[in-house]
Amino acid sequence: MRIDVWGELSLDVAKEIVNQLRQVYDYNQEQLETYLNPIIEDTVELVICSNGGECRVFNLIKNEVDKLKEQGVKIITRAVGICYSTAFLILLLGDERYASDNMVSIMNHEGRFELYQDAISNQEDYIKHQKKIEDEVDNFIIENTNMTKELLDKYKGRNHWLTQDECIELGVLTKPKEKEEIIMTEQEAIKCMKEYGYTVVSENEFAEMTKLQV
């Protein structure tokens, strides 16, 4: 099943994505609880083209994705066009993670928030709270990539722009599988030829059939 994660990630967008993920979960759960041989939706692909948005959108989507993974569902994430900020975190939810090509623009940065008019002490507490959340985000990135704390700290306050190749090297993306050469066995080739109406003979039979008559 494909679910599009497109545009600015607002709560309205999150609601639509979460509802689609819950539909898959509910369907699978009914199958698992009802049948001895359940037929479940075993793969969900999240196709991402987004400049990011609210961090809580990531939390909402992650919660549903984690529930699907408990059911044995494989999550594939694919970046197309742009994948910034919160969308970068959603990309990391995939068991397999890809980009459409090397022209995809991928970017991670430190969390950002606004301070509202309030007592200084409240603002100081809020900043401390946001720093704790940022630490949790960093831990999530480190656990799901080859990126280190030192690398994340290097780009604090800056946008860290990444190409597809750089993402593969840093473990953000899965290395694409090379196309395997398909080779037929002799038995498979014979079966295929017979299905198309050809008569298959052995080498000795062929030599006997083509022998010149004197």
pLDDT tens across 43-96, in order? 999 999 999 998 889 999 999 999 999 999 999 999 998 999 999 999 999 999
- Please give the pLDDT value at position 21: 98
C-beta separation of 77 from 56 below 8 A:
no
SS3 151: helix
CATH, domain range 2-169? 3.90.226.10
- Please give the pLDDT value at position 133: 85
d(CA 91, CA 164): 13
- Please give the pLDDT value at position 131: 84
d(CA 179, CA 151): 33
- Please give the pLDDT value at position 10: 93
Query: What amino acid occupies position 178?
Result: E
The beta strand positions in 131-186, using DSSP E, are: 159-162
SS3 80: strand
SS3 106: strand
For residue 55, which of 10, 108, 115, 103 has the smallest C-alpha distance?
10
Q: For residue 3, what are the CA distances in angstroms to 61, 77, 149, 197?
A: 12, 10, 31, 44
Q: Which residues of the chain have pLDDT under 70?
A: 112-116, 178-214
Angle between helices 55-70 and 11-34 (to 10 degrees): 10
- Please give the pLDDT value at position 184: 45
d(CA 83, CA 178): 24
| Residues 6 or more apart whose Cβ sits within 8 Å of residue 67 | 25
- Please give the pLDDT value at position 192: 55
Q: Which helix (H) or strand (E) holds 208?
A: helix 203-209
**Segments making up each domain of the chain, as ranges:** 2-169
d(CA 108, CA 161): 7
- Please give the pLDDT value at position 139: 96
